[in-house]
C-alpha cells in the first residue's frame, strides 16, 4: 500500500437535518419506499433537498415492531426542509405499500408537525392513536390504515464532509469509492447523498451565467492542457460527500471510508475539497482523523 | 378465478414526455443512476416531475455499445419539463460513475438542447463529438470524460392510465399489484411512476385548504362508516398508475397488468379511477382492452 | 389481530454447523459470492448441505478491515461437512472477485483445516501469513492474492427449528413468511436455509420408494378430500425452517419471526412441525417462547 | 483504447445441457428461486453441476402467463444431469413460493421425465393437467398447487467457452469482467456459471494428489518468480467462462463480452484458455469472432 493522505482539510457546512424511520412488512418494501423518497436529492445546488438512506432498523427498535429503514432529508433552510418533508412523505411514503413513518430524531428539541398536517388527507376520518407511547395519526387509505407520527424532529447537522480518491485507473478509484460508501453505510447518522461524485466542481466559470464548473485541475484528460493538481500516474478521481447529524459522525464516516479506500490496489492519494476556508464553517483535517 | 372487470373507464391526461438513455459499464451502475434520477417523482401534485425506469437496453442498441437503462421524465408543462431534465441529468447523471446519457426519443420533432446547456459545465474544455452518428458533447470531469447528447426529444404522451385491484386481503391485492408492475415492466414506452398506490384520492375535501383527500368509498377500514363502493369481502385495494409515450402503449400496459393481476388468488374485482370524464382527455374502457 | 399460537412444539435436530466470514471490497461482491456458496442447500434430504447467509459484517469486525458476510454451512455428518466446506470454498469463494475467507467460529474447539488443504492450489507459491493475528495462507491467483484462514471451526448446532403460518389467503401467508424471514435476518447465528417452504412434507408415502411426501392435511386444495388439519378459512400455509449455532438462538429466531408474522392481516394461526417427538432431540414449545 | 486480442483460441468441451423455465407472481420470487436452484454450480470439478440464469421471460412467452426466469443446468454425464434436475427442482423449486416450472427446451428430442418423477410427492393426490397445451402435473402443497411439466428436454451443448481479460489494475480487469458478464446476459441460451473467475488453473501440480493448481504464469504477484506470460504492466487478470446450448451462441457471447470489455480503460489484452487442443473438442479462435 503506497497510498498517502494529503495534509489538507475538508470544508463542511451547516445544514438542517431531519431523519425519518420508514417501517414496512419487509425490507424490500421499506427500501423501495426509502429510495423513492430520497431520490433526486444529491445536492441543493439544483435538487430541492439532499437525502439518502442512513441504515436499516431491526424490529425491536421500531415503534411498531416491524423492520424499517432510517432515511435523512437535509436542507440549509428550515422552511424549505419542512416543505420537502411534507412533499416527500406525502407523495412517496403515504402511497407506498404497507409503510408507516415515525420520527427518527425523537430527542430533537425542534419539531415540524408533518404528521399533523398530512393527517388532513384523512378528510375527517383520521384518528389520533398512540404507537408504543408515541403520538401518531391513523389515516384510512385503500390498503388499510396509514400510521404517521405527529411531529418530526430536526437538528443542526453538517453537510459537505468529503474526501477525494485518486488512483492509477478509473476502475481502481471507483472500486475504492464503492468500498468507502459501503464502509460508511455502517456509521450511524450519516448519508452519502450522491453517493459517489464523478464530476467535482470549482466555484465560478469563464461563463458569466454559470456559478460552478468542472474543476479542470482534477481532470485526468486535461492534465496536459492545464496546471494540473494530479500526480502523473493518476487516471481516475472520485469524491465522496457526507452529510451527518453531527460533526463527530461525519468524521467517523470519513475515517471509515478513507481507511478502506486506501486498501484498494492502485489508490495513490487521498485528499479533500475545500475553498480555502472561505465558505464552510467546519474544517476537517484529514490527518487528524487518524491521530 | 372469479375476479371480474368492472364496466368502467380509466381517465387519462395529456402530458409532455421525455425519455433518456443512461449507459454505463454495467447494469448495477446504470440502474443506481436511473433510480436516483427518477426519484421523488410519483405525481406532479407535489413532486416536480413524474418519472420512472422504462426498461433496460442491450449493448447493441446503445450509441456507445454499453449496457443501458431507458428512463422517462414527464411534466404537463414544457418549460418545467426542460428544467427537470436539466436538474436531474445535471445533478444525478453527470456525477454518477461511468455514465453517459443519450436521447431516448431520437425521432421526436421537438427537442430540448439539454446537452448543449450542460456542456458549459466543461468551462471551455468541452468538445463536440459524434457517437455513432449522434451529435454529443465530451465534458472533462474527475473520472475521465462525460458524454452527453446535444438534444433530447420530447413528445405528447399520456399520464394517469390506471386500474384498481380489489382483493380479499391486503396481501392478495399487493401480490397482484406487484405482479402487474412486473408484467408492465416488459411493455416498452411506459412507466409506473409510483409504482404502486396504496392511498387513492378523491378531488376535494371537507377542509377548504385541501384539494385532494382520501377516497373514503374505497377504504376497507371505513366500510361501516361511509357509503362504501367496496364489495363486502374486500380488505385490500391498490391502484396502478401508468404514464406512456402513447395512448396505445398505456393500453398495452393496462392489459398486461390486469391479465396477470387477475391470476392472483383472492383478487375479486378490477376497476379504474375516473372523474366522470370531466378532467382527462382520454377514456380507456377496461372491457375494450380485452375485446 | 386474531391470530393464535397453537399449543404444540417444533421438533429440532442436532447438526454440525460451520460458519465462514467472506470479505470483499464491497457488499455486492461479498453477497454475490455468499449466495453462490450457499446455493443448492435447502435440505440435506437431497442437497449436499444446508446453508445460508447469517448476516453482514462491518469493517471493524473483520480480520482484514473490509466489509463482509457471515454464512453458515451445515451437515449432520462431520466428514461430509468438511467435504462441503472444501468444495464450496474451493469452487465458489476462491474464484470470486476480491474475496478472502476467515473462520466465523474462531472460538470453536473443533476445527477443519480447510485453508491448509486449499493452499495446495498455490502449487508451492503459497505462503503462510498472519492477518490480524490469525494464521492464514496467501495463494497467488490471477486477480492478485487469495487469503484464506488455516482452520475453520465447527460446533454442534441445531437444525429444523420451525414454525408454520396459516392465513386466509396464500398472499397473506406469504407476506407473513417474508416478514418473518426479514425479522430473523437480524438474529445472529441463524439461517433460514429454504428460506420459505411452500411444500411441507410428512414422513412416508403410499409409494414404497418414497420416504417423504406432501402433508395432505396441510394442503388447502385437499381440504374436502382428506381429514384436514386446516381451519376452514385457511387458503395459504408456509413453513419457516431455522438452523442455528445453539438452541437459544433458534428460539430467538422463532420468537422474532412469529412476532412479526402475527401482525400481518389475514394470518389466523401459528403452529409447528413435529413428528410426535420420535425423530428430533429438541422440543421447542411455541407458547414457552413468549413466557 | 489500446487493448489487443491475442491470436489464440478458447478450448471448449461437450456437455449435456438442460434449461428450465421457472415462473412466479413476480420477478423477485422467480429470481430468488432461480439463484438457489443454480447455486453451488460453478464447475463440475468439485460442484455437482454447472448452472446459472440465462435470462428473464415475459408473461406472453410463459405457459402460465406469468413472469419467469430461464435457468440452465449442465453436466457431461446424462445420468448425473438427471439426478441434478431431480434434486435441484425437487429441493429448490418445489418449495419456493408461488413458483411453477416448465421445460425450457421444448423442442429437444431427448427428455428426462422429471415432472413425472417429482409428482409422486403428491402421494396420490397429484393430477395430470394441460397448461397451454403442455402436459403437466398439479401437486397439492401447503401454499396451494405446484405445477410442473411432465418432461424436460436436454441437448448436446458446449461448456468452457472462455476469454481472459488482462488489465493495468485489478479493478480495471474486474470492471471489464462485470461489463462482459452483463453484456453476455443479453445473449439467449448461455450462462456464465462462475460468473467471474479470479483464479485460473493449469492442469496438474507439483503435488501428486492435486490435478489442477494455480496457473502461475498468469499471476501478477508471481511475475518476478516465474516465466510469466503477463505483459509487464498487467496487475489484474480475470477469466469469463461460458456454457451454451450451441457453439454459435457461445461464440456470440464471447463476442459480446470481449467487445465491451475492451472499452474499459486500463484493459490491455484479451486472450483465452486452452490446453493446446488436447482436451476439448471445440477450438474458438478469438480473431475469427470479429471477422
Place of cell 479506500: A261
Q: Are A81 and A111 members of one domain?
A: yes
Burial of D277 (0-12, 13-18, 19+ CB in 10 A): exposed
Cβ-based neighbours of C93, under 8 Å, separated by 6 or more: C20, C22, C33, C37, C99, C101, C148
Distance CA A97, CA A25 (A): 9
Mean pLDDT of B267-271: 98
C-alpha cell at A206: 469563464
What pLDDT does C173 receive?
A: 98
Mean pLDDT score of chain B: 96
What pLDDT does A94 receive?
A: 98
CB-based contact C204:C123 (threshold 8 Å): no
Domain ends where: B96, B129, B155?
Answer: B155
Q: Are C240 and C262 members of one domain?
A: yes
CB-based contact A140:A105 (threshold 8 Å): no
Q: Are C8 and C33 members of one domain?
A: no
What pLDDT does C1 receive?
A: 52
Cβ-based neighbours of D122, under 8 Å, separated by 6 or more: C213, C214, D137, D139, D140
**In Å, what is the CA distance from B47 to each residue of A85, B39, B40, D284?**
12, 10, 6, 54
CB-based contact B241:D44 (threshold 8 Å): no
A1: confidence class by pLDDT, cuts 50, 70, 90: low
Place of cell 493495468: D168
**Secondary structure letter of residue B289 according to DSSP:** G
Whole-prediction pTM value? 0.97
Beta bridge partners of D56: D69
Distance CA B163, CA B259 (A): 11
CATH for B82:
3.30.70.520
What pLDDT does A102 receive?
A: 98
Interchain pair B59, D27: CB under 8 A: no
CB atoms < 10 A from the CB of D1, how many? 8
C276: confidence class by pLDDT, cuts 50, 70, 90: confident
B209: confidence class by pLDDT, cuts 50, 70, 90: confident
Interchain pair B237, A143: CB under 8 A: yes
A27 in contact with chain D, both atoms CB, cutoff 8 A: no
pLDDT at A46 over 90: yes
**Secondary structure letter of residue A253 according to DSSP:** H
Read off the pLDDT of residues C192-211 as tens digits, 9 standing for 90 and up: 999 999 999 998 899 988 88
Q: Are B8 and B130 members of one domain?
A: no
Please give the residue of chain A at the shortest CA–CA distance from D170: A265
Highest mean pLDDT among B155-159, B272-276, C43-47: B155-159
C-alpha cell at C220: 388447502
What pLDDT does B126 receive?
A: 97
Q: Are B102 and B213 members of one domain?
A: no
Distance CA B222, CA B185 (A): 33
pLDDT at A161 over 70: yes
Q: Please state, for a pLDDT cut of 70, what percent of chain C lies above it.
A: 100
D213 sits in which H/E element: strand D212-214
Q: Are B185 and B254 members of one domain?
A: yes
CB-based contact D148:D137 (threshold 8 Å): yes
Beta bridge partners of A46: none
Q: How far is B61 from chain A (nearest CA, A)?
A: 24
pLDDT at A263 over 60: yes
Q: Are D124 and D56 members of one domain?
A: yes
**In Å, what is the CA distance from B242 to each residue of B43, B199, B271?**
11, 16, 14
A267: confidence class by pLDDT, cuts 50, 70, 90: very high
What pLDDT does B1 receive?
A: 53
What pLDDT does C277 receive?
A: 81
Please give the residue of chain D at the shortest CA–CA distance from A264: D171
Q: Kindly list the partner chains of chain B, i.e. chains with 3 or more CB atom pairs below 8 Å.
A: A, C, D
**In Å, what is the CA distance from B71 to each residue of A13, B43, B89, B104?**
33, 16, 11, 8
Domain count, chain C: 2
Instruction: Examine residue B63 and say whether the peptide bond preceding it is cis (omega within 30 degrees of 0).
Output: no
Q: Are B32 and B148 members of one domain?
A: yes
Residues in chain A: 291
Domain ends where: D122, D139, D155?
Answer: D155
Cβ-based neighbours of B105, under 8 Å, separated by 6 or more: B17, B18, B19, B152, B153, B154, B155, B245
**In terms of residue numbers, what domain contains C191?**
4-12+156-289
Q: Which of A28, A169, A176 sits opposite D265 (nearest CB)?
A: A169
Closest by Cα among A169, A171, A176 to A259: A176
pLDDT at D1 over 70: no
Read off the pLDDT of residues D245-269 as tens digits, 9 standing for 90 and up: 999 999 999 999 999 999 999 999 9
Q: How far is B135 from chain A (nearest CA, A)?
A: 20
B141 in contact with chain D, both atoms CB, cutoff 8 A: no
Domain ends where: B139, B155, B171?
Answer: B155
Place of cell 461464440: D251
DSSP secondary structure string for all residues of A193-250: SSSSBS--EEE--SSTT-SEEE-GGG-GGGTTTTT--S-TT--EEEEEEEEESSHHHH
Read off the pLDDT of residues B126-151 as tens digits, 9 standing for 90 and up: 999 999 999 999 999 999 999 999 99
Q: Which of B27, B144, B178 sits opposite D25 (nearest CB)?
A: B178
C-alpha cell at B234: 374486500
Q: How far is B210 from chain A (nearest CA, A)?
A: 8
Mean pLDDT score of chain C: 96
Mean pLDDT score of chain A: 96
Distance CA A96, CA C134 (A): 47
Q: Are A37 and A100 members of one domain?
A: yes
Closest by Cα among D149, D53, D58, D64 to D98: D64
What pLDDT does C208 receive?
A: 87
B35: confidence class by pLDDT, cuts 50, 70, 90: very high
Instruction: Examine residue C284 and say whether the peptide bond preceding it is cis (omega within 30 degrees of 0).
Output: no
Q: Are A88 and A139 members of one domain?
A: yes
Q: How far is B35 from chain A (nearest CA, A)?
A: 7
Read off the pLDDT of residues D156-201 as tens digits, 9 standing for 90 and up: 999 999 999 999 999 999 999 999 999 999 999 999 999 999 999 9
Distance CA D212, CA B3 (A): 59
pLDDT at A2 over 90: no
C144 in contact with chain A, both atoms CB, cutoff 8 A: yes
Q: Are A25 and A142 members of one domain?
A: yes
Q: A244-248: list long-range contacts, CB under 8 Å, 24+ apart.
A: A244/A17, A244/A157, A244/A158, A244/A161, A244/A189, A244/A190, A244/A191, A245/A17, A245/A19, A245/A72, A245/A105, A245/A155, A245/A157, A245/A189, A245/A190, A246/A157, A246/A158, A246/A189, A247/A12, A247/A158, A247/A282, A247/A284
Interchain pair D260, B66: CB under 8 A: yes
Residues 214-253 of B with CB under 8 A from C: 235-236
CB atoms < 10 A from the CB of D202, how many? 15
A32 sits in which H/E element: helix A27-37
B36 in contact with chain A, both atoms CB, cutoff 8 A: yes
Interchain pair D145, C221: CB under 8 A: yes
C169 in contact with chain B, both atoms CB, cutoff 8 A: yes
DSSP secondary structure string for all residues of C73-140: EEESSHHHHHHHHHHHIIIIITTSTT-EEEES-TT-SEEE-HHHHHGGGGTT--EEEEETTEEEEEEE
Interchain pair D120, C42: CB under 8 A: no
D153: confidence class by pLDDT, cuts 50, 70, 90: very high
Place of cell 498517502: A4
Q: Are B112 and B231 members of one domain?
A: no
Query: In this prediction, does ipTM exceed 0.90?
Result: yes
What pLDDT does C2 receive?
A: 76
> Residue D133 — left, alpha, or beta (φ > 0 → left; ψ -120 to 50 → alpha)?
left
Amino acid at each position: 500500500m503506497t497510498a498517502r493522505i494529503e495534509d489538507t482539510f475538508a470544508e463542511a457546512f451547516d445544514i438542517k437535518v431531519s431523519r425519518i424511520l420508514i417501517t414496512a412488512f419487509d425490507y424490500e418494501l421499506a427500501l423501495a419506499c426509502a429510495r423513492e423518497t430520497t431520490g433526486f436529492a444529491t445536492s441543493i445546488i439544483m435538487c430541492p433537498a439532499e437525502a439518502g438512506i442512513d441504515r436499516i432498523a431491526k424490529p425491536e427498535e421500531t415503534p411498531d415492531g416491524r423492520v424499517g429503514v432510517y432515511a435523512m432529508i437535509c436542507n440549509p433552510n428550515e422552511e424549505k426542509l419542512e416543505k420537502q418533508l411534507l412533499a416527500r412523505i406525502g407523495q412517496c411514503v403515504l402511497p407506498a405499500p404497507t409503510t408507516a413513518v415515525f420520527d427518527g430524531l425523537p430527542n430533537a428539541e425542534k419539531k415540524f408537525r408533518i404528521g399533523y398536517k398530512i393527517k388532513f388527507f384523512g378528510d375527517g376520518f383520521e384518528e389520533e392513536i398512540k404507537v408504543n407511547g408515541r403520538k401518531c395519526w391513523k389515516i384510512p387509505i385503500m390498503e388499510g390504515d396509514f400510521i404517521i407520527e405527529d411531529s418530526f424532529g430536526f437538528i443542526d447537522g453538517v453537510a459537505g464532509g468529503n474526501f477525494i480518491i485518486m488512483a492509477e485507473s478509473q476502475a481502481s478509484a471507483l472500486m475504492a469509492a464503492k468500498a468507502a460508501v459501503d464502509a460508511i453505510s455502517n456509521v450511524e447518522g450519516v448519508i452519502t447523498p450522491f453517493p459517489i461524485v464523478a464530476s467535482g466542481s470549482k466555484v465560478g466559470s469563464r461563463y458569466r451565467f454559470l456559478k460552478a464548473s468542472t474543476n479542470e485541475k482534477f481532470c485526468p484528460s486535461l492534465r496536459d492542457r492545464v496546471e494540473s493538481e494530479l500526480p502523473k500516474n493518476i487516471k481516475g478521481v472520485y469524491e465522496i460527500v457526507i452529510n451527518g447529524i453531527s460533526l463527530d459522525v461525519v468524521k467517523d464516516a470519513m475515517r471509515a471510508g478513507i481507511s478502506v479506500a486506501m486498501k484498494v490496489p492502485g489508490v495513490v492519494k487521498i485528499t479533500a475539497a475545500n475553498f480555502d476556508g472561505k465558505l464552510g464553517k467546519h474544517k476537517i483535517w484529514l490527518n487528524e482523523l487518524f491521530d
